[in-house]
Chains A and B, each alone.
Chain A
Amino acid sequence: MINREEFRSIAHNGIWKQNTSLIQILGLCPLLAVTTNMVNGVMLSLATIIVMALSNVAVASLRNFIPHEIRIPVFILIVAALVTVVDLLFNANLHELYLVLGIFIPLIVTNCIVLARVEAFAAKNPPLHATFDGIFMGIGMLWTLAVLGGLREFIGGGTLFSGIDLVFPGLSPLQLLPADYPGLLLAILPPGAFILLGCMIAWKNWVEARAAQRQPRPPIEPLAADGTN
């Protein structure tokens, strides 16, 4: 099956090391287009996670029956069918959110991450690994979308969780800044999305650089490192 080590490496890859948005720079359209608030971003990520997990399973299980020449059309067929199912589910159950997310639900099909993972991982690995890969890649995407969405709505309007009522009808958004905060609208508009994502990538670079600087040291205090684990 899957051992702890593999699981950890898959999780680490998905969430940080091979993060789709910050490292692979894939799946940018949903990342930038729907993150006008956090809720949109999270919900679209959830949809993507479902599609990714399912399509990874499907491809990983069927991989031996798919001839090489038509693998791309078949992969796409599988992904598209799953996406449409998710699309129908959203439409039926979360109709208003469905309207907000618009064509970005069907566009999960062309989300490069999905196909990239299917090609790069699912087509070469057993189903269980593939499922986890799909889920963790999705989680990696989810947290970046959540952070970007949160940043954008906070800077743009001083709120958090706006649009939550579309998912949980009873809840209402948080107004974090005073109501007379003028709001830097730019953050919510396309330019803001690009610039803030640029800053997030720079932040990730900075974190990595700092980690790399510290790395050579470990041998000095191996015990402490063990202790924290």
Chain B
Amino acid sequence: MTTGAAKSASKKREPTAATMAVRTAAILFVFVIIFTGLLSGAYLWTKPALEASAAEEKMKLINEVLPRSAYDNNLLKDTVTLPASPLLGTDEATTAYRARKGADPVALVFEAVATDGYAGKIRLIIAVNADGTIAGVRVTQHKETPGLGDYIEPKKDKNKERPWITQFNGHSYASTVDKDWRVKKDGGRFDFIAGATVTPRAVIKAVRKATKYVAENQTQLYASQ
């Protein structure tokens, strides 16, 4: 009897599940409105800056492989979609950027993947001039061994004057014979760092195949919308 009384007393003090649900929901609702509002405000405020920095980031990369002075169009707007291709090493469609000076095609900037790096895929961005020569190559992503295979990144390359990756500049699929697209150890023309030959081999192979792809598809690439 006492316990029953205590129970009903405590019931009076404590809300039912339904009222509690409503109350909690309401409070959470208010807080969410306030803080999501705050957040959305911040987002709208920074949005232009965000977009700018995203574009800037892309441009910065492109500028590394293709000098800004070489073209005058807005690359980021003049794109073409490349389907997945074994020559590019890609397994999904990628975007290529077309640099033009006036109406003339200047260069094509696109992504390629070296699939057989020492520790997985090496992602590259390559700029190929309209004449088929390479304007520049940069590594965008890789998992090669730090301190050994990572010299393909200019930042990690001990040779600051002429980083390894710049060796490709000027080569083209047409002018460089197959045999030369190898590291010196294998009888080719490219340098390497002893003890880490797998990485350069992979990059060289990927670049060669990519230039081949461009050479084969050049006209469509510049033409298509």
Contacts and interface: CB of A to CB of B under 8 A. Distances in A.
Direct contact of A and B (CB under 8 A): yes
B39 interface: yes
Contacts of A179: 158
Contact of A91 (B24, B35, B50): B50
Contacts of B31: 66, 74, 77-78
Contacts, number: 59
Interface in B28-82: 28, 31-32, 35-36, 38-39, 42-43, 46, 49-50, 52-54, 56-57
A186 to B, nearest CB: 10
Range of interface residues on B (Cβ < 8 Å): 20 to 34
B28 A70 contact: yes
Contacts of A185: 146-147
Contact of A92 (B23, B28, B49): B49
Interface in A60-105: 65-67, 69-70, 73-74, 77-78, 81, 84-85, 88-89, 91-93, 95-96, 99
A183 interface: yes
Nearest to B20: A69
Interface residues of A, number: 25
A89 B158 CA distance: 34
Overall SS of chain B's interface: helix
Given A92-B50, A95-B57, A85 B147 contact: no
Nearest to A89: B46
B27 interface: yes
Nearest to A67: B27
A189 B24 CA distance: 46
Contacts of B27: 65-67, 70, 74
B38 A85 contact: yes
A81 B28 contact: no
A12 B20 CA distance: 42
A188 interface: yes
Interface of A: 65-67, 69-70, 73-74, 77-78, 81, 84-85, 88-89, 91-93, 95-96, 99, 179, 183, 185, 188-189
15 contacts: A70-B24, A78-B31, A78-B35, A88-B43, A88-B46, A88-B50, A92-B46, A92-B53, A93-B53, A95-B54, A95-B57, A185-B146, A185-B147, A188-B146, A189-B146
